[in-house]
Structures are given as C-alpha cells and as structure tokens.
Copies of this chain bind each other. A is one copy, B any other.
C-alpha cells in the first residue's frame, strides 16, 4: 500500500482534512488514468460512455440535453458537445422536440446500445479490479464519501 505522502513525496499535511482533499485528487487521477486505458480502444471517452449509460437508463424514452446534463457525474461538463460527438459516431440520434422546439430529444441508437453492452462488461470488471478493498471497506468508503459531501 502506497500512502499518499509517498505517492506525491510530501512529508506531511496541515491536518487530515487537507490530506483527504489531496488524497481524493490523487486517487481520482489514478482512476482516470486506468479508465482512459480501458476506453481508448473503443474510440469513446469515459464521459461519452456516461452519456450513453444515461440514455439507455431512460429505456427508449427520449432525453433532453438538459436532462442529460443534470444526471452527469460532472455537472459542469457540456452535454451539448458530448451529444454532438456521439451523433457523429452514430451512437445517438437527435431530433427536435415537437411540443417545445427549443428542446432536443436524444435517443441512443442500436449501434450505441451494442457498444455500451460490450464496454460495460469491461468497465465493470475494471472497476472491481481497481478497488483494492474488501466488501466491508468499500461499503464504508461509499458511506464516508456520501457523508463528506454533507
């Protein structure tokens, strides 16, 4: 086990709260590096994968761009541009919403569902491999992260 102090060659932290923030940042970067390697061969990014998952979760009901945005892991990300990229790849369809022409209905395509199914197996396996904790520990981690956010 590599403690955060070693990982970034910092002798000590002001207090455990400041240490936890750095630990979160470092662990996140570590996670994203691993995710990128997994996604690379499939030609989509983790963020695009997340949008596809949100769309599939709607079970065929068209989803607006703002509704996707609300469900994204990163609320600051740009759903409009991610949808455009997925459309270029033929993974989603976009259509004008009939009752409100400002809105755009987004639907995942067959091709999108297929890619998602294939990716999901590897992502879920990858996540289990990534988290070197036992069941009790991972439950505790989830609890602490939820509580941390207040």
Q: What is A's interface to B at a CB cutoff of 8 Å?
A: 1-4, 7-10, 14-31, 33, 57, 70-76, 124, 127-128, 130-133, 135, 137-142, 144-150
- How far is B76's CA from A23's CA once the two chains are assembled, in angstroms? 16
B75 near A29: Cβ-Cβ < 8 Å: yes
Determine the residue in chain B with the shortest Cβ distance to A123: B18
B144 near A137: Cβ-Cβ < 8 Å: yes
A8 near B149: Cβ-Cβ < 8 Å: no
Determine the residue in chain B with the shortest Cβ distance to A22: B73
A17 near B75: Cβ-Cβ < 8 Å: no
- For A31, the chain B residues whose CB sits under 8 A away are 21, 24-25
**Known: A10-B71, A28-B24, A71-B9. Is A2-B146 also a contact (CB below 8 A)?**
yes
- For A138, the chain B residues whose CB sits under 8 A away are 16-17, 19-20
B27 near A24: Cβ-Cβ < 8 Å: yes
A132 near B150: Cβ-Cβ < 8 Å: yes
- Min distance, Cβ A45 to any Cβ of chain B, angstroms: 13
